[in-house]
Amino acid sequence: MMYLSAIIFYTQLLFSNPHEVPYRDESSYKLSLKMEFKTEKAPSNDKVDMVYTKKRSNGPLLYLNASLELLTLLENDYRIKVINSKKVVIKSARLKSPTTILFDLGFAEYMKSEKSSNTFTIQFIDKKRNVVSHIFLEIKKDGDFMVNGKRFGKV
């Protein structure tokens, strides 16, 4: 009987919905995109990549940079992390006062075709390393730029 109750408890734990981290309040930040045209860098000649299949474009491509201006800091805000869809941290910083965080998103063409990361999560972390809120960015195949599930613009 004791084993059965333990199995039921762990099964409920395994299949229960995890605690959802809330979206950051829109009034506490201002997000802006900077779009510029860049040419793609050639692959390094020092390495041999047997799996390299990406073809470079002939001309400049639209490149996106993001600027996140924090208008107010909440009492639990200690650090910020920007993580792409491949779980790579592309920016990490300690928050001291309302500030502006700059980070690169990448080439729009590759994000739309999902050849590179097309989703980014900006996490706000407290001193105990708990994520207290987040902002979710996504570039869809049709070019819509989404912020927390709402259309922000088109690239």
103, β-bridge pairs: 66
Range of the domain at 114: 22-39+58-154
Residue at 76 is within a domain: yes
Q: Return the pLDDT at 13.
A: 40
Residue at 47 is within a domain: no
Q: Return the pLDDT at 4.
A: 52
Residue at 12 is within a domain: no
Residue at 95 is within a domain: yes
Diameter of the chain by CA atoms? Answer: 70
Q: Return the pLDDT at 15.
A: 46
Mean pLDDT of successive 10-residue segments in the chain (155 residues)?
Answer: 51 50 94 92 67 64 95 93 95 91 94 93 96 96 95 91
Residue at 11 is within a domain: no
CATH of the domain at 146: 2.60.40
Element (H, E) at 55: none
Residue at 51 is within a domain: no
Helices (H) and strands (E) in the chain, counts: 2, 9
Residue at 15 is within a domain: no
Q: Return the pLDDT at 9.
A: 45
Residue at 135 is within a domain: yes
Q: Return the pLDDT at 6.
A: 46
Element (H, E) at 48: none
Number of domains in the chain: 1
**Residue 151, token pair as written in the block:** 């259309």
